[in-house]
Chain A
């Protein structure tokens, strides 16, 4: 059993431990969940230390026969892109548990169930990034919806049931299209190389253009809903408004990355020609997403809605980087997936604490927090700066790489996307001004500042945001070789510089 499978199963062992624990003891449940998530993080660190930067292709590979009749295997393995996303997952889960220590209160079910769902999600998130069998990927991709459905519907706020249902149905629709495309791909493989779902083998097939286009669309729409890309985004704001901060972090910070991850791993790898065919359309949608998300973020009155729309804008940037198909764009997009995870986590955490203290998520209800709760205010401010990609913070590096990489191939798209940085300043600073500055508004006078537990949860995220902004090399070195492989497989090279070298 490879370390990768261990990593996937470890949270499930935690689930077992939780299931055996007494229902009444909420504190014990929290401790078990935190303990196991930290253990998973430690194991993932060990795995990362064994990862070989120089090797191309998948590492820690393991394959076991699952449904031999259809050539389906339990096959896992990771390359640079999957590694950084798995690390993102394993770092964020303990932070989510610690940050939202009390957020299971007021749910429909017990605290124990809440953490069971969180750990199941973690196992699936690791699995989905590790899967190298397309069928395995699909199964986890769909199954991942279920714990999140219960997390939103059972522990959320406001119209949680409706939001959870919308999320589930929308995602299932995407999954259905992907299933159809998956079956189509399998049928083609039976004709060409003998039925298989193995990603590496499938990527060697020659598929004629019309078929490739349809199959590409099936996968792409599923990922575009997941990511979410305009105009498939409307499930996200309602889910983010209803979900607890921790769930939102897992959903937007990690799970939605499966969409953009899938675009690189499956769309580009399996259907390189169709990718090129649809690139202009997708680039347009990405640019629309960037500007549209930013404008709507400016107009949001709900703080969680604001974060949701900033994410739509940022997912536009990631998608743009992927389909610019340059080394800088692709690396920047992958790095952005990580940075967006941290920056969204910081935003949802701090906003969540603000909402929990004020008992309202309306931005207008806050005001003057800088005087009352300076540390919380600073934390929200720094998270906001990370969202507007201030140079010196990690999101700047990824955003700039995406924009520069896009500019070399699609200058017009890059110019429009760059206008987004003005809007980013607006949506962050308007929210900051309304909630932190000005006179202390009634109802805010006696809010308490961050407690030690919250500081401990937030500190690593802020530290990573700053550290990776100054010294991104360790992560970029992991991503770079994989980007090269993807580019090579898709048969694209960077545009040559006009003059000079």
Chain B
């Protein structure tokens, strides 16, 4: 372990900048975006410096820590505000600050016409700070702060244009779905505390193998729930599509490259829990496999370019989650795919933003077509991202995704065949829906009306896109050559040097299979979308209908959670008013009634009083007489 005093600035700089921009308000309108971009860039520089410093160290000295202060100390519960930068977190730091800075630059132009651009950059900086805290925290509770912090930033950014009710609802939906995941994270932390008496990664790791299988499975399942919420995995996936309400740079940064991959980080970080519990691992691969197919299927039917990309994100993260459930070797491939995905998906989202920028914020792909002539740079950068995601060699996705498919097949037995098959099928569908997006948007004939004047975006926008496109081309090769990523992460995710079992399928076989299905998917899409009607056809198969409706995820949630919840609420409102408060009122009412009866005696007639006195007197005498008898 090494100590580093720079780590805190990674978080503090964007946090302070964000607070400054929010507090100063309109006074900072002129220079707010510049400060935010500068701060994000400085964080990237710090990250690069730390990366080279880490590379120059070796072995156990590589991870760096910084103890800032004691956060909570209550009895045996001790949590420090400490940061940990190891081989895993540096990868995230570089991704977050690198892609983050590019997107800051892009947004300067993209948001230039928005009167609240400064506020947008304040939120972006807040997100960077929270996300860095998420990956740098050295305990689950520190991570939790970042975890909810990115949730808050995501809420604010999805609802950036919250004057539109649908957008405000989308923001709320995202936050609430994430909160369901947060229950999982809270419970995981509580179980860890009850079991191990500590919530730091190091402490839990040290004791994890002593814990009972049931406890480990419980922690694993709860962490998976948390990951499902944040990473839009089944069954908490429904918020991601609606989250596209946010400005497009947000979709690129938060809902494609970084925040939604936090679930992958969480599971990878907790590898010592999952490696010790086969049940938890099984749950992870099931969730991953379901989601990668779910997202892919939904992606085939979306006409909104951003929603199609969102479905694709869900599916690609499904691949990563699947990989994290495949044991020590899987983590490295998951992170590798996470990084390559960060490049190509962010690039494609920015490309989509560029298209929208040129098309007056139109998102319906059926109203695009033939845009390649008008936006050559966007087309090229988007196209490179496209080649990367479908896994054409030697683009990035080829290296990372094929490794996941291969590892899935090698999981052994029926499980391996099922998982590998699902991953392979997913690859075919990915090729299909991504080709569809490209064909509908850039190829074919124009389908927009004459009001639109498609044009290429300014340099501030296409330069980040170009850089990300370069990443989409090269990152896979760089990370895979000489097993660089696997070796880099090995001390974190595979400290015991697991020997990998017999290979079920040779890499070359898997690659061949993958390329074949990809080609099939591409051809299918090209054939199917030679002509595209401007209005979406209504006479379609049940499968298309289901996919358009996101496989009825919202209807399911509404029927199973929302409506019963509303019924329960109104039922409880009634109960509170009529039964709980009713009982209180009943006491008051009965006292009033009794008092009413007694009051009738007080009629104001002296004769009545005299009679009552007389009767009382007689009663008294009678009593005395009876008693003394």
Contacts and interface: CB of A to CB of B under 8 A. Distances in A.
B76 A476 contact: no
A169 B196 CA distance: 49
B74 A497 contact: no
A422 B194 contact: no
A374 B116 CA distance: 12
A88 B43 CA distance: 39
A397 B145 CA distance: 10
A391 B144 contact: yes
Contact of B168 (A327, A331, A425, A438): A438
A433 B169 contact: yes
Given A328-B77, A422-B176, A437 B576 contact: no
A415 B198 contact: no
Interface in A126-177: 166, 169-170
Contacts of B460: none
Given A295-B568, A391-B144, A419-B183, A498 B215 contact: yes
Contacts of A332: 74
A378 B123 CA distance: 13
Given A401-B72, A437-B159, A421 B77 contact: no
Interface in B175-213: 175-176, 179-180, 182-183, 186-187, 189-191, 193-198, 203, 206-207, 210-212
Contacts of A429: 155, 172, 175-176
B141 interface: yes
A421 B572 contact: no
Contact of A473 (B69, B193, B212, B569): B69
Nearest to B151: A390
Nearest to A230: B580
A404 B182 contact: no
Interface string A422-458: 1011100110010011111000000000000000000
A298 interface: yes
B195 A499 contact: yes
Given A326-B75, A473-B70, A501 B198 contact: yes
B584 to A, nearest CB: 5
Nearest to B178: A425
A397 B576 CA distance: 31
Nearest to B572: A295
A408 interface: yes
A405 B190 CA distance: 8
Contacts of B72: 397, 401, 472-473, 476
Nearest to A378: B22
Contacts of B76: 327, 494, 497, 501
Nearest to B203: A500
Nearest to A415: B187
Contact of B73 (A368, A392, A473): A473
A327 B206 CA distance: 24
Contacts of A473: 69-73
Contacts of B215: 498
B176 A426 contact: yes
A350 B204 CA distance: 42
A194 interface: no
Interface string A453-493: 00000000000000000111100100010010000000000
A113 interface: no
Given A234-B581, A299-B570, A422-B179, A501 B197 contact: yes
A475 to B, nearest CB: 11
Given A390-B148, A438-B168, A418 B572 contact: no
Contact of B172 (A408, A424, A430, A439): A430
Contacts of A436: 162
B211 A498 contact: yes
Contacts of B541: none
Interface residues of B, number: 63
Contacts of B193: 404, 407-408, 497
Nearest to A440: B163
B120 to A, nearest CB: 14
A472 to B, nearest CB: 6
Nearest to B165: A438
A408 B81 CA distance: 23
B584 A170 contact: yes
A43 interface: no
A326 to B, nearest CB: 7
Contacts of B615: none
Given A299-B573, A371-B163, A404-B77, A425 B179 contact: yes
A73 interface: no
A295 B71 CA distance: 32
Contacts of B191: 407
A415 B206 CA distance: 26
Contacts of B152: 385, 390
Contact of A296 (B77, B149, B163, B573): B573
A437 B162 CA distance: 5
B388 to A, nearest CB: 35
A400 B79 CA distance: 12
A403 interface: yes
B147 interface: yes
Interface in B310-325: none
A490 to B, nearest CB: 15
A499 B194 contact: no
Contacts of A472: 71-72
Given A418-B186, A498-B195, A401 B74 contact: yes
A495 B180 contact: no
A422 B268 CA distance: 26
Interface string A318-343: 00000000111001100000000000
A494 B69 contact: no
A392 B153 CA distance: 13
A436 B159 CA distance: 11
Contacts of A106: none
Contacts of A374: 25
Contact of A400 (B73, B75, B141, B180): B141
B75 A331 contact: yes
A146 B155 CA distance: 45
Interface in A47-86: none
A370 B161 CA distance: 11
A405 to B, nearest CB: 8
Given A234-B581, A391-B147, A391-B149, A497 B73 contact: no
Given A392-B149, A437-B165, A438-B168, A495 B572 contact: no
Contacts of B22: 378
A4 interface: no
A418 B172 contact: no
Interface string A394-421: 0011001101110110010011001101
A292 interface: yes
Contacts of A403: 186, 190
Given A400-B186, A408-B194, A299 B572 contact: yes
B69 A471 contact: yes
Task: Name the residue in A408, A483, A494 with the highest tally of chain B Cβ atoms < 10 Å from its Cβ.
Answer: A408
Contacts of B194: 404, 407-408, 411, 495, 497-498
A370 B162 contact: yes
Contacts of A400: 141, 186, 189
B74 A414 contact: no
A396 to B, nearest CB: 8
Contacts of B145: 391-392, 396
A35 interface: no
Given A425-B175, A437-B159, A327 B569 contact: no
Contacts of B569: 295-296, 298-299
12 contacts: A235-B584, A327-B74, A390-B148, A411-B190, A421-B186, A429-B175, A433-B162, A437-B165, A473-B70, A473-B72, A500-B210, A501-B76
Leading 8 A-B pairs by shortest Cβ distance: A327-B75, A497-B197, A437-B168, A407-B190, A500-B207, A437-B162, A234-B581, A499-B210
Given A407-B190, A429-B175, A438-B163, 6 more contacts: A391-B149, A405-B77, A407-B193, A429-B172, A436-B162, A498-B196
